[in-house]
Amino acid sequence: MAKCFALMGWSLPVIESMQKLNKSFVVVSFPDFENYAQENNIPFVPYQFDEWSDSSNSLDLKDKLEPYHVDVAVPLFEETVEWAGALNSLYRDDPKVLNRAFLFRNKAMMKRKALIGGLRVGLFEEVYNKEGVVNFMNRLNQANLQVDGEEDSWVHIKPFASAGTVGHRLLKSKADIEEKCQDDDFPCLAESHLPGKEFSCEAFVHGGKIRFLNITEYVKLGYSNFIPEGNYLHTKREKIMKEMQKLVDLFGIQYGMIHPEWFLTENDELSFGEVACRIPGGHILELCSQAYGFDALAAFVCCHDPELTEEELNELLPPLDARPKTFYGNVMIYPHKNQISRLVIPEELKEESFFLDHNLVPPLTSQKVNSRDGFGNHFGTVNFKGDDPDRMAELLLHYENVDFYH
C-alpha cells in the first residue's frame, strides 16, 4: 500500500473518503484552502497549480511533499493532471507517465493517438482562427459529398485542455462560425459531429487491466445521467468492455481510473469521443457509489497505487459482472430566466415515487443569473432512485425542462 497519497486539488468528499479508509494523505491545493485545512487538521501543502517556472515545478513540489513520505499522486481535477503525471513519473522512475498525462490534457494529441490505435474517431484538426474553421467545414462538406443548397456539416470546436463542455461550441453553418466564434477561442480543436447515443465509462484500472467498469447513460449531456446503464446499452456491455480494454492498452494506462465518452451508432458501431483521468462531472462517482454500494471516490484514489494487492482491490471494488437492480440518476438544474427571486418545487415531483431528494437552495434576494461557460454552473441537482431505467430516463428528460427558479 502507498505510504501517502498526494490528493491534487481540493475535494471534501474525497478527503472524507480517505479519512474513513484511514489512509495516509496530504492535500495539495491553492493557498486559499490552507486556513480551513489547518482548522480541521487536514494535512495540506499550498501550491499554485497555475504557475510553472524555475521556482514552481514538479521537482520543487516533490521536495515539499517529502516530509509526508508521498509516493503516489492522484489528480482530482483537470488542471492537476500534468502535475500528478510529473510527480508519478518521478515516483515510478518512468518518464512516460508524464507523457501520458500530456496526452490526457491535449485533445488533438488524444485524438491522434486513438486514430493510430484503430479506434473509430471523427475528422479533426487543430485550428488557429475563424478562417481555419471555415476551411475545415468546407473539407468536411466535401467528404460528406454535400451539394449546393444542403446544410453544412456540423463542426464542434473545443479547447485543447478544458474539462467537460467549457469553451465547447457547436457550429451548424458558416454563419455560426462568424457569430459564435471569438478570437480567444483559438487555437483549439475542430472536429466533426459524431452521431449516436452518447455515454461514458468509468474504468478502474490496475496493472493495465480493467478491474471494474461502470457505464453511465447520458440522457442529455451536461444535464442528466443515470447509473447503471439502461437495458439496451447493457446488451452492448461486452462490446464496450472490449473497446475499453483496447483504449487502456493503446494509451498505456497502468493505474487509476479513466472516464472516456463514446457514441453508439444505429449501426452498432462505437465512436471514441475523448477521455479524462480525473473525477468526472455530473456527480457520476456519487451515483456509482449509490448504485453499486461501494465508495467510488476511495476506489478512484487507491487504484492509483501500484502496490495495491489483489485482496485490497477486491475489497474496494464490486465484481466485474455486478448489475444493480436499482438505478440512480440526477438532473442538473439551471434557471431558465436571467433574474430569479424564489425556488418552486412542483407538487408532481414531491408525489413521484422515483424522487429521492434535491439540494436546490432558494435565492436570498432577487438574483441575476450569470451566463454559463459550458455546463459548469448548475444551481444544484434533483436526484432519483428507481427500478425502471426507461422511467428514469423519462423523468430526467422531463425535469430538465421544468423551471424551478422563478
Q: How many CA atoms lie within 13 A of 289 on its CB side?
A: 14
Please provide the CATH number assigned to the domain covering 5-105: 3.40.50.2000
Res 229 pLDDT > 90? yes
CATH fold group of domain 195-324: D-amino Acid Aminotransferase; Chain A, domain 1 (3.30.470)
CA distance 206 to 45: 27
Mean pLDDT of the 378-397 span: 95
Q: What is the pLDDT of residues 230-271, one digit of tens each?
A: 999 999 999 999 999 999 999 999 999 999 999 999 899 999
Residue-level pLDDT at 228? 98
pLDDT above 90 covers a percentage of the chain that reads 80
Residue-level pLDDT at 369? 67
Q: How many CA atoms lie within 13 A of 397 on its CB side?
A: 10
pLDDT band at 376 (very low <50, low <70, confident <90, very high): very low
Query: Using alpha carbons only, what angle is made at residue 229 by residues 226 and 234, rounded to the nearest 5 degrees?
Result: 170
Res 395 pLDDT > 80? yes
pLDDT band at 55 (very low <50, low <70, confident <90, very high): low
Query: Using alpha carbons only, what angle is made at residue 222 by residues 220 and 225, rounded to the nearest 5 degrees?
Result: 55
Res 145 pLDDT > 80? yes
Phi/psi region, residue 283 (left: phi>0; alpha: psi -120 to 50; beta: rest), is left
Q: Decide which of 250 and 169 is more confident.
A: 250
Q: How far is CA 366 from CA 328, 335, 389, in A?
A: 33, 13, 38
pLDDT band at 170 (very low <50, low <70, confident <90, very high): confident
Q: Decide which of 127 and 338 is more confident.
A: 127
Residue-level pLDDT at 163? 66
Question: The pTM is what?
Answer: 0.93
Mean pLDDT of the 357-385 span: 76
Three-class secondary structure of residue 35 per DSSP: helix
Residue-level pLDDT at 164? 63
pLDDT band at 371 (very low <50, low <70, confident <90, very high): low
Q: How far is CA 48 from CA 33, 118, 145, 194, 209, in A?
A: 12, 38, 50, 37, 34
Q: Decide which of 74 and 337 is more confident.
A: 74
Q: In this structure, are strands 255-264 and 270-276 parallel, antiparallel, or unpaired?
A: antiparallel
Q: Where are the chain's structural domains? A: 5-105, 124-192, 195-324, 329-400
DSSP H helical ranges for 216-335:
231-234, 237-251, 284-292, 296-302, 310-316
Q: What is the pLDDT of residues 296-324, one digit of tens each?
A: 999 999 999 999 999 999 999 999 999 99
Res 216 pLDDT > 90? yes
Mean pLDDT of the 259-287 span: 95
Mean pLDDT for the chain overall: 92
Residue-level pLDDT at 153? 93
**Cell 453499486, residue located:** 292
Mean pLDDT of the 93-120 span: 94
- What is the per-residue burial (b if ≥16 Cβ within 10 Å, else e) of 232-259? ebeebbeebbebbbbbbeebebbbbbbb
CA distance 137 to 153: 7
Check if the beta carbon of residue 229 is closer than 8 Å to that of residue 217: yes
Cell triple for 161: 485542455
Residue-level pLDDT at 304? 98
Q: How many CA atoms lie within 13 A of 67 on its CB side?
A: 6
CA distance 75 to 290: 23
The overall longest dimension of the chain from CA atoms, in Å, is: 67
Q: What is the pLDDT of residues 330-345, one digit of tens each?
A: 999 988 887 888 899 9
Residue-level pLDDT at 50? 80
Closest alpha carbon to 132 in 193, 192, 184, 189: 189
CA distance 80 to 87: 11
pLDDT band at 373 (very low <50, low <70, confident <90, very high): very low
